[in-house]
A and B are shown apart, each in its own frame.
Chain A
Amino acid sequence: NAGVTQTPKFQVLKTGQSMTLQCAQDMNHEYMSWYRQDPGMGLRLIHYSVGAGITDQGEVPNGYNVSRSTTEDFPLRLLSAAPSQTSVYFCASSRDRGSHEQYFGPGTRLTVT
Chain B
Amino acid sequence: AQSVTQPDIHITVSEGASLELRCNYSYGATPYLFWYVQSPGQGLQLLLKYFSGDTLVQGIKGFEAEFKRSQSSFNLRKPSVHWSDAAEYFCAVFKAAGNKLTFGGGTRVLVKP
Contacts and interface: CB of A to CB of B under 8 A. Distances in A.
Interface string B59-97: 000000000000000000000000000000010101010
A53 interface: no
Contacts of A45: 98, 100-101
Interface residues of A, number: 25
Interface in A20-39: 31, 33
A104 interface: yes
Nearest to B36: A104
B34 to A, nearest CB: 8
Contacts of B103: 42-44
Contacts, number: 57
B100 A58 contact: yes
A interface majority secondary structure: strand
Contacts of A105: 43
Interface of A: 4, 31, 33, 40-45, 48, 50, 56, 58, 90, 92, 94, 97, 100-107
Interface of B: 4, 9, 32, 34, 36, 42-46, 49, 51, 90, 92, 94, 96, 98-101, 103-106
